[in-house]
Amino acid sequence: MALVLEKRRLDEYLSWLSRSFTVYAPVERDGLVKFDGRSSGDSVVLDYDTTNTPPKFLFLPHGECMLEFKGEKVKVPAVDERFVVFMNSVDAEAVSILDEVFGGEFNDEYYARRRANSIIVAVESEVKMRDSFDEELDLKFKNGFDVLFTDCGDCYLVEAKTAKGKKLMKSDSIKETKKSIKDRRNFIKDRKLDLGKISAFLDKGPEQKIWQDLAKECFACGICAYVCPICHCFDVQDDVKLEGGGCRKRDWDSCMLADFALVAGGVNFRGERHKRIHNWYHHKFARAVSERGRPDCVGCGRCITYCPAKIRIHEKIRECEK
């Protein structure tokens, strides 16, 4: 027997969760779907075709205070919020990559505390994210989430994948069913990205014509990094108050920005735009593959959807296969 949640009872279920957790979900506000804390009356869109913010801010907040200081006293702010977050399976895959980045050789305690306090519900549906190319990547869809919702039309089939996920099965809204869970993913095998060829081309460096040409189109605004569910560069600064003390905080950053590689003495070892563009692609599709066996990309397509220069980033990746 499997478990099922009827869609008509989704709000009832979310309200039940809200008694014990903060609930984050893709909600529609002012015509845009964004990840935010759910409030009563919100329109939750589990089958979103894109969001203007990725869910990574829940684990890597923008403007995060890492420690507070005054005189000789130093205090690390507590992270007490326990939350459940709903996201599609592609975004959940992105979280599994962030888990490797921040939980690998150099464990990030700030990220780890938020992940320990979180329960992720991945939603599998027929809806494709706008401009997505996830089917061309070998995504695992096995890690990074605690519960799997599979859209079956008028209901979701529900599977708990971890001990934490089983806590969410106790609601009266979830019933037993004889329905079976079908894998809805239809990968197009002959269109898979050849990561070997792509990595080899990227390893040739930034002086290839493609990067010179792309530098004429790209604004180097960094929006591709900010909307990416995986890009994780950050800057750390001390915010000192006039009356003494302050906090050390980290903000999102992007290797696309002109001063990202600026160091002491005014030296910028990636001052030219084409070098920064190449570095972004190389990090995602060569260095990450070499270090962790898969790219820092899940093909969600946000970098394409929100690029102000209308650059078809996926097409540029394809050009690297030649």
Three-state secondary structure readout of 82-132: CEEEEEEHHHHHHHHHHHHHHHCCCCCHHHHHHHHCEEEEEEECCCCCCCC
H/E element holding 281? helix 273-282
What CA–CA distance (Å, rounded) separates 144 from 187? Answer: 20
The DSSP letter of residue 170 is: -
The two structure tokens encoding residue 27? 């909600």
How far is Cα 277 from Cα 285, in angstroms, rounded to an integer?
A: 13
Nearest to 252 by CA among 262, 237, 264: 237
| Average confidence (pLDDT) over 143-162 | 93
- Report the share of the chain in percent with pLDDT over 70: 96
Contact 313, 224 (CB under 8 A): yes
Banded model confidence at residue 180, pLDDT cuts 50, 70, 90: low
Distance, CA of 158 to CA of 154 (rounded, Å): 13
Token pair, residue 20, equals 């014990």
Arithmetic mean of pLDDT, 263-287: 95
Q: Kindly provide the b/e burial profile for residues 69-93, where b requires at least 16 CB atoms within 10 angstroms of the residue's own CB.
A: eeeeeeeeeeeeeebbbbbbbbbbb
Residues forming beta bridges with residue 108, ordered by sequence position:
none
At 188, the pLDDT band (50, 70, 90 cuts) reads very low
Q: Residue 82 pLDDT > 70, yes or no?
A: yes
DSSP strand pairing (22-29 vs 32-37): antiparallel
Q: What percent of the chain has pLDDT over 90?
A: 84
Contact between residue 85 and residue 127 where contact means Cβ atoms under 8 Å apart: no
pLDDT of residue 51 exceeding 70 = yes
Tokens at 30, concatenated:
């002012």
pLDDT, tens digit, for every residue of 135-149? 999 887 777 899 999
Round to whole Å and give the CA distance between 258 and 268.
9
151 DSSP β-pair partners: 156
Cα–Cα distance measured from residue 94 to residue 262, given in angstroms and rounded to the nearest whole number = 29
> Among the listed ranges 70-79, 104-113, 185-194, 311-320, which one has the minimum average pLDDT value?
185-194
Q: Worst-scoring range by mean pLDDT, 189-198, 228-237, 263-272?
A: 189-198
How many CB atoms lie under 10 A from the CB of residue 22?
Answer: 16
**3-23 confidence digits (pLDDT tens):** 999 999 999 999 999 999 999
How far from the centroid of its chain's Cα atoms is residue 154's Cα? 28
